[in-house]
């Protein structure tokens, strides 16, 4: 195992820190272990270990319309929804 001789300092929102601490505690992990895991995955994948995308204009417009309740399709039942989905 490699000698751990380097320190990384990062500033984050206190709410984020608290929420993440609860999750990591439930997993039995420390911040140090979680960050090391992340960095090892970056090295292994030669990039971020998850997809990062900037939504295009059409996606942003769709999100905004949905937030405003526009152009929504309402179904009387889940069966009606699935029937419509099978047509696509």
In tens, the pLDDT along 24-63 reads: 999 999 999 999 999 999 999 999 999 988 889 999 999 9
My answer on whether 45 and 68 are in the same domain is no
Q: Is the pLDDT of residue 2 over 90?
A: no
- Taking residue 40's Cβ as centre, other Cβ atoms within 10 Å add up to 11
Provide the pLDDT for residue 37.
97
Provide the pLDDT for residue 3.
84
Domain span at residue 62 reads: 57-87
In tens, the pLDDT along 58-86 reads: 999 999 999 999 999 899 999 999 999 99
My answer on whether 41 and 62 are in the same domain is no
Nearest Cα neighbor of 32 from 49, 20, 14 is 20
My answer on whether 2 and 44 are in the same domain is yes
Nearest Cα neighbor of 6 from 29, 39, 28, 47 is 39
My answer on whether 21 and 39 are in the same domain is yes
């Amino acid at each position: 195992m490699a000698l751990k001789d380097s320190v990384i300092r990062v500033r984050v929102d206190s709410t984020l820190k608290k929420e993440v601490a609860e999750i990591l505690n439930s997993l039995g992990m420390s911040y140090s272990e979680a960050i090391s895991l992340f960095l090892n995955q970056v090295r292994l994948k030669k990039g971020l270990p998850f997809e990062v995308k900037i939504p295009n204009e059409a996606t942003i417009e769709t999100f905004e319309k949905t937030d405003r309740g526009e152009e929504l399709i309402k179904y009387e039942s889940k069966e009606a929804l699935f029937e419509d989905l099978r047509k696509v």
